[in-house]
């Protein structure tokens, strides 16, 4: 007999293309066994949606995301930029979160890495405000506003506080970009005053690129501007090895979206071979965002056991299990 579940949430589910659908099914399969009431609304987006509806991102899907407590996104194919970049803009998703965490039986270069990269998602170099070419060359503008940088820095400190992290590291290049990154660094230490229990440090981005390799265990929360965050996140992904394992979150004022970093993987799509762990870990980030930390811990421990047991790993992790077999194993561990 089923008892009524405690909390209930409306989740916009956008599986997208290729393995996006397979890893989404596997993840929902596990989420449904948790003691939480999810109401799913399904939205279309991506290559097949474009073919069918003449648009890769219908307004109905955007509205669905807007009206939900959170969105789970699988992956899009060739239309990924039109879909995901547009959703981020429309929903004003100012924070991009990429955890860098080492799991057992993976290609992680180190065992003891566990930090979060908090990347500003709306300005910096990626406003892509470039003047047209002249004979002399081209110019790009980089915008740093007090409002956006204070918002992302405060988000990083709040994240640290809520997740029992003891230190936040700011990453910049204020020795060269004295005005823009000088301001970023200044705001960092202003905001830090509101969090006296959290230690602070700041590094230049080039040094950070090295420290991520030489002392990755020393990082807890890293906060940085848009371009630097993009580059360091991919370095972080390389550190812990394997696209099949890397989740991400986009957080904004009007909504939050959780997605694996990988794409639609046409080379293995439709074969029940994709590793669903990146999507599952993305849904765990969603659970934490919703305040469902107990369920998140339980789900993550079940994945950890699958990795430790190493009996039902997918091909990318050196095993021969299918997507559905891995999901089944996670469910059995809950």
Q: Does 263 bind ligand NAI (CB under 6 A)?
A: yes
CA 213, distance to chain mean position in Å, is 21
Among 98, 172, 185, 262, contact with ligand NAI (rule: CB under 6 A) = 262
Instruction: Please report the sign of the dihedral spanned by the C-alpha atoms of residue 201, residue 188, residue 91, residue 296.
Output: positive
Q: Does 220 bind Mg ion (CB under 5 A)?
A: no
Among 13, 49, 62, 75, contact with ligand NAI (rule: CB under 6 A) = 75
Residue 230 binds which entry of Mg ion, ligand NAI, none, CB below 5-8 Å type-dependent = Mg ion
Closer by beta carbon to ligand NAI, 90 or else 158:
90
Q: How far is the CB of 74 from ligand NAI (least distance, A)?
A: 8
Q: How many residues bind Mg ion (CB under 5 A)?
A: 1
Closer by beta carbon to ligand NAI, 266 or else 291:
266
Closer by beta carbon to ligand NAI, 80 or else 174:
80
Contacting range for Mg ion; rule: CB under 5 A; set: 118-126, 163-171, 227-235, 275-283: 227-235
Give Cβ neighbours of residue 193 (< 8 Å, ≥ 6 apart).
none
Among 11, 24, 28, 84, contact with ligand NAI (rule: CB under 6 A) = 84
Q: How many residues bind ligand NAI (CB under 6 A)?
A: 22
Q: Does 230 bind Mg ion (CB under 5 A)?
A: yes
C-alpha closest to that of 250 among 65, 82, 117, 97? 97
DSSP for residue 315: G
Residue with tokens 């699958």: 306
Q: Which residues have a catalytic role annotated?
A: 126, 173, 206, 230, 234
Q: Please answer whether residues 79 and 266 qualify as being in contact, where contact means their C-beta atoms are separated by less than 8 angstroms.
A: no
Q: Does 120 bind Mg ion (CB under 5 A)?
A: no
Closer by beta carbon to ligand NAI, 27 or else 208:
27
Q: Does 36 bind ligand NAI (CB under 6 A)?
A: no
Give Cβ neighbours of residue 81 (< 8 Å, ≥ 6 apart).
none
b vs e for 23-32, b when ≥16 Cβ sit within 10 Å of the residue's Cβ?
bbbbbbbbbe
* Residues listed for the chain: 334
Closer by beta carbon to Mg ion, 47 or else 230:
230
Q: Please answer whether residues 247 and 299 qualify as being in contact, where contact means their C-beta atoms are separated by less than 8 angstroms.
A: no
DSSP character string of 114-141: EEEEEEE-SSEEEEEEEPPP-SS---EE
Residue 264 binds which entry of ligand NAI, Mg ion, none, CB below 5-8 Å type-dependent = ligand NAI
Residue 160 binds which entry of ligand NAI, Mg ion, none, CB below 5-8 Å type-dependent = none
Alpha helices in the chain (DSSP H): 19-31, 47-53, 59-66, 80, 86-90, 146-162, 180-192, 205-214, 226-240, 277-289, 293-309, 323-333
Rounded Cα distance, 95 and 154, in Å: 11
> What residues numbered 295-334 form the site for ligand NAI, per CB under 6 A?
316
Q: Does 15 bind ligand NAI (CB under 6 A)?
A: no
Token representation of residue 8: 């209930």
Residue 29 binds which entry of ligand NAI, Mg ion, none, CB below 5-8 Å type-dependent = none
Contacting range for Mg ion; rule: CB under 5 A; set: 72-80, 106-114, 119-127, 222-230: 222-230
Closer by beta carbon to Mg ion, 237 or else 326:
237
DSSP character string of 237-284: HHHH--GGG-EEEEE-SS-EEEEESS---TTTTTTT-S--HHHHHHHH
Q: Which residues bind ligand NAI (CB under 6 A)?
A: 19, 23, 75-78, 80, 84, 243-244, 259, 262-268, 274-275, 278, 316
Q: Which residues bind Mg ion (CB under 5 A)?
A: 230
């Amino acid at each position: 007999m089923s008892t009524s579940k405690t909390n209930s949430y409306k989740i916009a589910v956008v599986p997208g293309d290729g393995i996006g659908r397979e890893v989404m099914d596997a993840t929902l399969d596990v989420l449904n066994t948790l003691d939480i009431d999810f109401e799913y609304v399904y939205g279309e987006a991506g290559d097949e949606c474009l073919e069918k509806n003449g648009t890769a991102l219908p307004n109905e899907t955007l509205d669905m995301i807007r009206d939900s407590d959170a969105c789970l996104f699988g992956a899009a194919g060739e239309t990924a930029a039109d879909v995901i970049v547009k959703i981020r803009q429309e929903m004003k998703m100012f924070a991009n979160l990429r955890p860098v965490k080492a799991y057992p039986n993976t290609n992680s270069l180190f065992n003891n890495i566990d930090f979060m990269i908090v990347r500003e998602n709306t300005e910096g170099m990626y406003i892509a405000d470039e003047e047209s070419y002249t004979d002399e060359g081209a110019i790009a503008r980089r915008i740093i506003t007090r409002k956006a940088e204070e918002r992302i820095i405060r988000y990083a400190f709040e994240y640290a506080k809520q997740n029992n992290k003891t230190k936040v590291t700011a990453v910049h290049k204020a020795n060269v970009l004295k005005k823009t990154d000088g301001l970023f660094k200044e705001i960092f230490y202003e905001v830090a005053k509101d969090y006296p229990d959290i230690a602070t440090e700041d590094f230049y981005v080039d040094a950070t690129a090295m420290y991520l390799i030489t002392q990755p265990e020393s990082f807890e929360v890293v906060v940085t501007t848009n371009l630097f965050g993009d580059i360091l996140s991919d370095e972080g992904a390389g550190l812990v090895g394997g696209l099949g394992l890397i989740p991400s979150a986009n957080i904004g004022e009007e909504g939050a979206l959780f997605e694996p970093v990988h794409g639609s993987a046409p080379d293995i799509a439709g074969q029940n071979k994709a590793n669903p762990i990146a999507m599952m870990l993305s849904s765990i980030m969603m659970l934490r965002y919703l305040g469902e930390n107990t369920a998140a811990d339980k789900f993550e421990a079940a994945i950890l056991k699958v990795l430790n047991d190493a009996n039902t790993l997918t091909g990318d992790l050196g095993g021969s299990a299918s997507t559905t077999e891995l999901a089944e194993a996670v469910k059995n561990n809950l």
